[in-house]
């Protein structure tokens, strides 16, 4: 790194770099100190930035604080800052500049308004118009190369699977807001979309499937077809992705849920999607600001948000100096450049670092976010839509279920296995979103509502092909010889109308950039008609404790599985059989809500009782199912004789579907 000397700028401020800290005192703008080991430089430029000034600390589109759009021209600490919008009391975020550099899309809740919608304004502050209206809240607008607009919205009124806040999925509309169509169907949020050089969407996807809770990057076509994991291991989240001129991605790294601040990272796509990266994270991505922590406040070395390429090798980002709490954070704008050592090929891996970090602009009374380059930029090619609106279904072909790794803790099915380990059936599951206003008392564990769509055969080579309802969250599980879930796909997929997905070559398979390793290129299932599971919601099979499992427990289980008392004085308590109390006394579950004690003790909430007998979604790992089927831990036990075949299947599927209460 170069060493900077003290200098005086237009604001009559003094910049002092001493070791790992510098003091930044700006006349009229307050004082900032304890910055990381930055290098202060000046570069002349005539380009301009548009950015958001807001009073509040923003996280994942959850800020409703007052703000406006501003322009900095030129991009220099001596540049002039002027307002583009002049609202009082409006909440504004997510600017996006048109390809010709003349217009700006943004999200706004106007003063006194209820919904956030998408607006457009000329770069000089004239010509304000409203693009979308009504619905829920609209965020993240993006100009598409075919003239349409993509944005994220909670207008479906679905709640995310974690904290039941309004979930945002992606929508497209014409430039005037007409022909509005939902194009992504996650059970939680899809947000921060951007375009890569080929015209694909790259976005952060909230994956919350029971105990899985992460934010990888996904890729899809603008019409929502071909959604696929792009980048991200199980132990890292990436926010605010942007394509770099060299074809990589730059993003914010985090280990937190709903915390999109942290260090800046460059994702080296030439080394594969880091799914998972194992222990060699430097191979797959380089953290450019390693002193910045990934685990949320406090921020002893500050934190970054919204990296954005300015062209060539220069970038801008929002950065706050050290802050103990989120409310202490004060984000300003900084620029930086990158330095690469190594050719960036698998044989000559690249190591990327920051060459300099330059203070650009800060008003200590406001946060400056989401700076975008305000000038013309290249339009990627149009990817034509393949959606067939005359269809209500789509098809998924999986080449093999045997190509997977141990990286997520699940078993690896073996091709040709027999007996209990044989894999010849697939259970297909559909996600049921919680809607706004609905009580969330449907579970005492981390799994949310889902139903059984049906079953499909798995061919001897591990392939399967299924026809499923379009625009619907779908998952599945391979079943063993006892119809217990063997491997559960813990992510939600969907197909658009008329789409056929054919690139599934296994779970956690080896992948490189634009390349998929396919151990079974000629799957048997591809030669057969798909199993037709395109059934209406009225045909979904729901299994819950309240209506299905509870009555069986009351009739056949509770007589033994309840505590009893002697007549001694004082009385002694004899624990329920197997220390499993299945009485219907109402108790509060760890996840909240009042449920019968029997349900809590069977729901998989291990902290609620002396013994956990259920692993939701995994009947093969659940002692409850062992005892019901008389296998494994339950071998030789009498429990298998208490239930008939239909009841055994029902218990098995109830656990597979997440052990829901209602």
Q: For residue 338, list its beta bridge partners.
A: 354
Range(s) for CATH 2.120.10.30 in the chain? 7-373
The model's pTM is 0.91
- DSSP character at residue 546: I
pLDDT at 568: 65
**Regions of the chain with pLDDT less than 70:** 1-46, 61-62, 276-280, 405-408, 506-517, 566-571, 606-610
- Bridge-based pairing of strands 515-516 and 531-532 is unpaired
Fold of 7-373: Neuraminidase (2.120.10)
DSSP 434-479: EETT---TT-SSS---EEEEEEEEPPTTS-EEEEEETTS-EEEEEE
Query: By C-alpha distance, which of 238, 260, 262, 236 is closest to 249?
Result: 238
Phi, psi of 631 (to 5 degrees): -130, 170
Res 280: pLDDT: 65
Q: Rounded distance, CA 370 to CA 250, Å?
A: 14
Question: Rounded to whole angstroms, how far apart are CA atoms 83 and 53?
Answer: 9
SS3 (DSSP) at 421: helix
Token pair for 174: 């014409």
CA distance 477 to 507: 12
Six token digits for residue 290: 């390693």
Residue 257 burial (C-beta neighbours within 10 Å; 0-12, 13-18, 19+):
middle
Three-state SS at 155:
coil
Do the beta carbons of residue 391 and residue 418 sit within 8 Å? Answer: no
Q: Put residue 127 in one of left, alpha, beta given phi > 0 → left and psi -120 to 50 → alpha.
A: left
CA-based Rg of the chain, rounded to a whole angstrom?
Answer: 27
Residue with tokens 């605010």: 240
Q: Are strands 91-97 and 103-109 parallel, antiparallel or unpaired?
A: antiparallel
Q: DSSP code of 323?
A: B
Question: What tens digit of pLDDT does each residue of 111-143 get?
Answer: 988 899 999 999 999 999 999 998 889 999 999
Beta bridge partners, 363, equal: none
Contact of 579 with 615, CB cutoff 8 Å: no
Q: Looking at residue 480, what is its pLDDT? A: 96
What pLDDT, on the 0 to 100 scale, is given for residue 640? Answer: 86
Where is 331: in which H helix or E strand? Answer: strand 331-341
Q: Which residues pair with 229 in a beta bridge?
A: 218
Give how far Cα 38 sits from Cα of 186, 292, 310, Å. Answer: 40, 13, 19
Neighbours of 531 (CB within 10 A): 19
Residue 556: the pLDDT is: 95
């Amino acid at each position: 790194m170069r060493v900077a000397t003290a200098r005086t700028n237009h604001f009559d401020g003094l910049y002092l770099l001493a070791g790992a800290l510098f003091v930044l005192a700006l006349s009229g703008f307050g004082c900032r100190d304890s910055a990381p080991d930055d290098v202060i430089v000046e570069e002349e430029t005539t380009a301009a930035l548009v950015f958001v000034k807001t009073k509040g600390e923003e996280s994942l589109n959850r800020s409703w604080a007052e703000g406006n759009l501003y322009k900095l021209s030129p991009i220099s600490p001596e540049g002039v800052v002027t307002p583009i919008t002049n609202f009082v009391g409006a909440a504004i975020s997510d600017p996006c500049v048109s390809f010709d550099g003349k217009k700006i899309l943004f999200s706004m809740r106007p003063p006194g308004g209820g919904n956030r919608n998408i607006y457009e304004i000329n770069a000089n502050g004239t010509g304000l118009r409203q693009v979308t209206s009504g619905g829920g809240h609209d965020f993240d607008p993006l100009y598409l190369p075919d003239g349409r607009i993509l944005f994220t919205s909670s207008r479906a009124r679905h709640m995310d699977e974690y904290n039941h806040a309004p979930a945002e999925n992606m929508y497209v509309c014409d430039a005037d807001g007409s022909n509005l169509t939902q194009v992504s169907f996650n059970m939680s949020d899809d947000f921060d979309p951007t375009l890569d050089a080929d015209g694909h969407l790259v976005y952060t996807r909230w994956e919350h499937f029971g105990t899985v809770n992460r934010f990888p990057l996904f890729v899809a076509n603008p019409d929502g077809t071909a959604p696929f994991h792009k980048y991200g291991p199980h132990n890292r989240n990436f926010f605010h992705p942007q394509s770099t001129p060299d074809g990589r991605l730059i993003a914010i790294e985090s280990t937190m849920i709903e915390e999109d601040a942290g260090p800046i990272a460059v994702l080296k796509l030439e080394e594969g999607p880091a799914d998972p990266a194992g222990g060699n994270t430097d191979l797959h991505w380089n953290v450019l600001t390693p002193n910045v922590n990934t685990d949320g406040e406090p921020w002893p070395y500050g934190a970054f948000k919204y990296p954005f390429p300015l062209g060539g090798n220069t970038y801008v980002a929002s950065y706050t100096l050290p802050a103990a709490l989120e409310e202490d954070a004060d984000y300003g704008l900084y620029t930086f450049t990158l330095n690469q050592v190594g050719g960036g090929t698998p044989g000559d891996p690249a190591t990327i670092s920051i060459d300099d970090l330059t203070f650009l602009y800060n008003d200590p009374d406001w946060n400056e976010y989401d700076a975008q380059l305000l000038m013309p930029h290249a339009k990627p090619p149009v990817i034509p839509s393949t959606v067939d609106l005359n269809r209500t279904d789509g098809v998924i072909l999986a080449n093999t279920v045997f190509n997977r790794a141990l990286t997520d803790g699940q078993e690896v099915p073996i091709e040709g296995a027999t007996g209990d380990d044989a894999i010849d059936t697939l259970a297909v599951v559909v996600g049921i979103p919680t809607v706004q206003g609905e009580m969330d008392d449907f579970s005492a564990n981390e799994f949310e509502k889902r139903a059984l769509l049906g079953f499909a055969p798995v061919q001897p080579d591990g392939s399967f092909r299924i026809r499923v309802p379009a625009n619907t969250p779908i998952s599945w599980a391979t079943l063993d010889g006892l119809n217990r879930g063997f491997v559960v796909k813990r992510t939600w997929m969907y197909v658009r109308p008329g789409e056929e997905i054919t690139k599934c070559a296994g779970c956690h398979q080896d992948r490189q950039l634009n390349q998929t390793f396919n151990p079974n290129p000629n799957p048997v299932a591809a030669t057969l008609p798909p199993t037709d599971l395109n059934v209406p919601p009225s045909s979904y099979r729901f299994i819950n404790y309240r209506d299905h499992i509870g009555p069986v427990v009351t009739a056949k289980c509770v007589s033994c599985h309840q505590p009893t008392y002697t007549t001694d004085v004082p009385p002694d308590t004899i624990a329920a059989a197997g220390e499993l109390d299945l009485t219907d006394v109402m108790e509060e579950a760890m996840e909240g809500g009042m449920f019968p004690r029997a349900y809590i003790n069977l729901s998989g909430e291990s902290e609620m009782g002396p013994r956990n007998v259920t692993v939701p979604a995994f009947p093969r790992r659940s002692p409850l199912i062992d005892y019901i089927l008389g296998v494994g831990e339950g071998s030789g036990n009498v429990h298998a004789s208490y239930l008939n075949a239909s009841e055994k299947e029902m218990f098995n599927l109830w656990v597979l579907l997440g052990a829901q209460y209602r």
